[in-house]
Homo-oligomer: A and B are copies of this chain.
Amino acid sequence: MEKALDLDKFFNPRSIAIIGVSRNTFSLGGLSYLTYLQESRFAGPLYPINPSAEEILGIKAYAGLTGLPRVPDLAIVCVAANRVPSVLEECARVGVTHIHILTAGFSETGTKEGKTLEEEIAAIARKAGLLIMGPNCMGPYCPSARLTAWGARPGLDGPLGVISQSGGITQRLTEYACSLGVGVHKAASIGNATVLDSTDYLMYMARDEKIRVIAMYLESVRDGKRLLKLARQVNRDKPIVFLKGGESERGASTVISHTGRMAGGEKAWQGFMGQSGVSQVRTMNEWMDAILAFCLLPAPRGRGVFLVGGGGGNSVIYSDTCIREGLEVPALSKANMKRLRPLVPMAGSIAGNPLDLWETFQNPARLSEILEMGYEDPQIHMIIVDRLIPRKAYHMPIMPDSTPQVVEYLKSHGHRKPTVFNVDSEGGDQDLALKGTALRTFFCQSGIPAFPSLERAARALFHLYRYHSRFSLPENS
């Protein structure tokens, strides 16, 4: 692999200059970055640059980079677009090499001025050897360095790396992941990616040992061949979960207005997905679901799912869903069926796979026993447990909550095969919504993925199966 650029100063800067900090206009900009870096208790010095302020938020302000007591590791540029080139010239003069340009108003506006300004940025960077993240982006995010001017705050360190051309989508993903206990080690919102492109960040994150899974949101790429080569290499060790923006014609035309770049042909991207082997997702939820699976689960050795839960209709529909999503719902072994039959009432239940046994909701010992059957069964490679929340409409609306014991069991017995939960709490019942959210979060934070619907659980497991089937042992080995 070619040598990665040293982007450390973006994510672990010892000091930050914020260029263009208004004293009182609080919107997305220099002042909000200063405010949130201060609130996040970023450890190093912050240098707000404002030609006419003595101090801002109690921090000494400077008229320009030249007067700073040291060369800052990172500069965040928040001035108006037409002033950005001169700021970059100043960075070059004082020796600032790592620069995040928050400012928008370049080629994405579709104007000649915007385009020319962006070309100017590229030319200055090339000449002076500047590493630039952006423009038109939220920039770097790194909770372990308290670099959380945006995204989940205080955030949570963890196995996830994020490279994204959308600030809004990345904010949301960091929040979503951290709220479920999946930490983010580094995220880069890279906007128009005029100087450094996604490939540079990908190469950098590939070398970061703390990053185990990489989420990418790209609308475009400068060098498609380089991305393909890199993604194929990196994906072998670190699953890349890829959300491509601008797949459709209308989406692609929106890309130009968003990041000023060409989305690239649909066929070229289809080819990329196939050849690189990355896991392509299509929505925020599918993205997060697959990330949960990759971050928390071991490799399955096949696509056979054991469906554990209760309800005849659900057993039927859940089977259909798993199969539609590319999984299999195999029959249990004879030995398991022999163990299972005496445990399952003849009327109103179904012994087999799917298993319709109401007791699994209430009796953690029984559920553990059932899980063991799945772990021992050679046809079973993954398990989805339906975790019913008792509801007013049921004839037994109050049930003992077996969740803590089940989580303990899974923690102490290890994830011998990928095991996930489905916790449905859809609808307008606020109490149910609250219970469902709390329960899913409890599972996820305990290292056990939980999803709000069976179809989402099944699709996440299919991504996991598909990925590992490319690199792992054959089925049933």
Contact = CB atoms under 8 A, between A and B. Distances in A.
Given A153-B393, A254-B354, A169 B426 contact: no
A313 B283 contact: no
A20 to B, nearest CB: 14
A217 interface: yes
Interface stretch (A3-11, A69-77, A87-95, A315-323): A315-323
Given A217-B313, A282-B324, A180 B150 contact: no
Interface residues of A, number: 102
Interface string A426-470: 111110111011101100110000001111000000000000000
A103 B346 CA distance: 12
A166 B282 contact: no
A168 B311 contact: yes
A150 B109 contact: no
A434 B320 CA distance: 31
A272 to B, nearest CB: 16
Nearest to A80: B347
A209 B471 CA distance: 59
B166 A429 contact: no
Contacts of A175: 391-393, 427, 429
B248 A453 contact: no
Interface stretch (A41-49, A255-263, A403-411): A255-263
A150 B255 contact: no
B312 A258 contact: yes
Contacts of A174: 393
A258 B313 contact: yes
B324 A247 contact: yes
A251 B347 contact: no
Interface in A5-46: 26-28, 32, 36
Interface in A101-127: 103-105, 108-109, 111
Interface string A273-297: 0000000001111001000000000
Contact of A320 (B152, B248, B394, B395): B248
Given A165-B313, A314-B169, A395-B150, A428 B445 contact: yes
A246 interface: yes
Q: Which 5 A-B pairs have the closest CB atoms?
A: A166-B313, A179-B428, A258-B312, A428-B441, A168-B311
Given A250-B329, A257-B350, A282-B455, 6 more contacts: A32-B395, A179-B429, A248-B320, A254-B315, A284-B426, A428-B440
Interface of A: 26-28, 32, 36, 81, 103-105, 108-109, 111, 136, 150-153, 164-172, 174-176, 179-181, 217, 219, 243, 245-251, 254-255, 257-259, 282-285, 288, 310-317, 319-324, 328-329, 346-348, 350, 352-354, 356, 391-396, 424, 426-430, 432-434, 436-438, 440-441, 444-445, 452-455
